[in-house]
Amino acid sequence: MEPLRQTLRDIAERDMAQDSAHDLGHLDRVWFTCDRIAATEGGNRKLLLAAAYLHDLVNLPKDAPNRAQASRLAADAAIPHLQALGFSETEIARTRHAIEAHSFSANIEPETQEARILRDADRMDAIGATGIARTFAVSGRLNRPLHHPDDPFATHRPPDDSAYALDHWPVKLLRLAEGMTTETGRALAQRRLSVMHRYLSDLADEIGTEPPQHWDIQT
């Protein structure tokens, strides 16, 4: 598996548009989590490996108008690489579906175990300690402030994640655990959400306000 992993990693390094949240480190983490979930949930590791390293082969900015098409475009871009690596037509179809269905914005239901695991693993990277770092990296690039100066936890206003980094948490990130499709994914997600809620408590203390109890979303 290691030679295949290195080949796929080389393809991604050469062909994927990288940013601070979607780089080789992201792909490595997604593969690590895929492998971790598959160890208890099953799934074809070869297909998971390919899907993990090629799922962001077409990486569009978060604010791109065609962002919802990114996973389909990435799946299409992956096909010639899979063919060159000797994947069968069935393996290519299963890998393609896993890549297409991983995206939150594409709204495609995963129909295979590999698709379910990849989706869980990719979403896992958006929460927990890594998710905190990635959120603020992306928001910094988009020139969005950390939080609203007068209502940091959107207590008296609707959250707007196009304006404030922290607002992305209740809009999307704290809800990602709801959509985990594997038992292992759900358990891992709960641990990562605990990290985020500890951060919110610490942040509230530092800025002199109360933690956002209304963000304590249960799954």
pTM of this prediction? 0.91
Model confidence pLDDT, tens digit, residues 126-166 = 999 999 999 999 898 889 999 999 999 999 999 999 999 99
> Residue 64: what pLDDT?
61
Indicate whether 143 and 57 sit together in one domain: no
Domain-embedded: residue 184: yes
Model confidence pLDDT, tens digit, residues 86-100 = 999 999 999 999 999
Domain-embedded: residue 118: no
Domain-embedded: residue 149: yes
State the burial class of residue 184 (Cβ atoms within 10 Å of its Cβ: 0-12, 13-18, 19+): middle
| Distance separating alpha carbons of residues 150 and 148, to the nearest angstrom | 6
CATH of the domain at 143: 1.20.58.1910
Q: Sorting pLDDT into bands at 50, 70 and 90, what band is 217?
A: low
CA geometry: angle 171, 172, 177, nearest 5 deg: 135
CATH of the domain at 46: 1.10.472.50
Query: Which residue has better confidence, 127 or 64?
Result: 127
Instruction: Tell me how many domains the chain contains.
Output: 2
> Residue 20: what pLDDT?
82
Indicate whether 6 and 101 sit together in one domain: yes
The mean pLDDT value of the chain amounts to: 93
Indicate whether 98 and 136 sit together in one domain: no
166 with 132: CB under 8 angstroms?
Answer: no
Indicate whether 99 and 191 sit together in one domain: no
147 with 163: CB under 8 angstroms?
Answer: no
> Residue 18: what pLDDT?
85
Indicate whether 67 and 142 sit together in one domain: no
Indicate whether 104 and 134 sit together in one domain: no
> Residue 61: what pLDDT?
66
| Distance separating alpha carbons of residues 209 and 195, to the nearest angstrom | 19
Determine the structural domain holding residue 200 and report its residue range: 128-215
Indicate whether 152 and 94 sit together in one domain: no
